[in-house]
Amino acid sequence: MSEKNFLGTLRTLYEIEIERAPSRHPLQTPDCLPLVRFSPKVQKGWTEEERAHVGGCAYCERMMALVWREACPSPWTLARHALGTFPYAIAMQFHLERDRCPRCNQVLESRLIVRLKELAEQLGDLAASMAVVYRGPAYAGEFASEKRPPLLIRGTNEDGSLVSTLLETDEGFLALYVESSDPVNAGRRVAAEVMMTEGEPLAAELELGPAGEFGCRAEHIFGRIEEFKQIFQGCVLLVRWFDESQ
Amino acid sequence: MPGPKPRSEAERLLDEDLVDSYYSCEEAAFDELSVRHSQRLWAFFRSLGFDEYQCADFKQECLLKLVLGKRGEGPRFERTKGRGMFRAWLRTAASNLARDVWRRQNRWELDDLDEEESETSLPERPPDDWIGPTEVFETLVLAQTLKRCLGDLSAGSRQIFVLKYYEGYSVKEIEEMLGLSYTQVNNTLFRTREKVRKRLEEKGFEYRPAIAPGPIGEVVLRFEDEVLVYIGERHKEEDDE
pLDDT above 60: residue A208: yes
Contact A26 B52 (CB under 8 A): yes
What average pLDDT does this structure show over B181-203?
A: 88
Contact A11 B166 (CB under 8 A): yes
Q: Which of A32-41, A105-114, B163-172 has the lowest mean pLDDT?
A: A105-114
Give pLDDT, residue B113.
42
pLDDT above 80: residue B26: yes
Tens of pLDDT, residue by residue over A66-108, are 999 988 888 778 888 888 888 999 999 999 999 889 888 888 8
Contact by Cβ (8 Å): A194, A222: yes
Residue B183 Cα, gap to closest chain A Cα (Å): 21
- From residue B36, give the alpha-carbon distance in Å to each of B39, B88, B90: 8, 14, 12
Q: Which of A66-75, A107-116, B8-17 has the lowest mean pLDDT?
A: A107-116
Q: H or E segment at B36? A: helix B27-47
Q: H or E segment at A61? A: helix A58-70
CB-based contact (8 Å) between A152 and chain B?
Answer: no
Cβ contacts below 8 Å, chain A against chain B, sum to: 112
Q: Which of A2, A3, A4, A13 to mutate to test the interface with B (most CBs of B within 10 A)?
A: A13
Cβ atoms < 10 Å from Cβ of B230: 28
CB-based contact (8 Å) between A42 and chain B?
Answer: yes
Q: What is the DSSP letter of B25?
A: T
pLDDT above 60: residue A11: yes
Q: Which of A51-65, A98-112, A146-160, B67-81 has the highest mean pLDDT?
A: A51-65
Closest CA to B52 of A27, A32, A92: A27
What average pLDDT does this structure show over A206-232?
A: 87
**Predicted ipTM?**
0.76
pLDDT above 90: residue A207: yes
Q: H or E segment at B158? A: helix B155-161
Contact by Cβ (8 Å): A165, A206: no
B225: closest chain A residue by CA:
A5
- From residue A139, give the alpha-carbon distance in Å to each of A151, A152, B150, B195: 10, 11, 38, 44
Residue A73 Cα, gap to closest chain B Cα (Å): 12
B223: closest chain A residue by CA:
A5
- From residue A141, give the alpha-carbon distance in Å to each of A136, A165, A176, A230, B197: 11, 20, 21, 11, 49
Q: What is the DSSP letter of A178?
A: E
Distance of alpha carbon B201 from alpha carbon A46, whole angstroms: 57
Share of chain A above pLDDT 70, in %: 85
pLDDT above 90: residue A156: no
Q: What is the DSSP letter of A76?
A: H
Residue B30 Cα, gap to closest chain A Cα (Å): 8
Q: ∠ CA B150-B95-A34 to the nearest 5 degrees? A: 115
Cβ atoms < 10 Å from Cβ of A48: 7
Q: What is the dihedral of CA B19, B22, B26, B29, to 10 degrees?
A: 50
Instruction: Pick the more confident residue, B109 or B113.
Output: B109
Average pLDDT along chain A = 82
pLDDT above 60: residue B127: no
Residue B81 Cα, gap to closest chain A Cα (Å): 25
Region class of A103: left (phi > 0), else alpha (psi between -120 and 50), else beta? alpha
What is this structure's pTM? 0.72
Amino acid letter for position A99: D
Q: Which of A83-87, A202-206, B80-84, B119-123 has the lowest mean pLDDT?
A: B119-123
Q: What's the pLDDT band for B41 if we cut at 50, 70, 90?
A: very high
Contact A38 B67 (CB under 8 A): yes
Which of chain B's residues have a Cβ under 8 Å away from the Cβ of A2? 207, 225-226
B-facing residues of A in 59-98 (CB < 8 A) are 62-63, 66-67, 69-71
CB-based contact (8 Å) between A45 and chain B?
Answer: no
Contact B223 A22 (CB under 8 A): no
Q: Which of A2, A24, A36 to mutate to test the interface with B (most CBs of B within 10 A)?
A: A36
What average pLDDT does this structure show over A234-244?
A: 75
pLDDT above 50: residue B119: no
- From residue A220, give the alpha-carbon distance in Å to each of A181, A231, B49: 18, 17, 55
Tens of pLDDT, residue by residue over B47-91, are 998 999 999 999 999 999 999 998 888 888 887 765 668 888 999
Q: In what order do the strands lie in the sheet with A189-196?
A: A130-135, A235-241, A189-196, A202-207
Give pLDDT, residue B100.
86
Q: Which of A217-221, B174-178, B205-209, B223-227 has the lowest mean pLDDT?
A: B223-227
Contact by Cβ (8 Å): A181, A160: yes
Contact B142 A5 (CB under 8 A): no
Which of chain B's residues have a Cβ under 8 Å away from the Cβ of A5? 207, 223, 225-226, 228
For A172, residues 6+ apart whose C-beta sits below 8 A from its C-beta are A145, A224, A225, A226
Contact A35 B68 (CB under 8 A): no
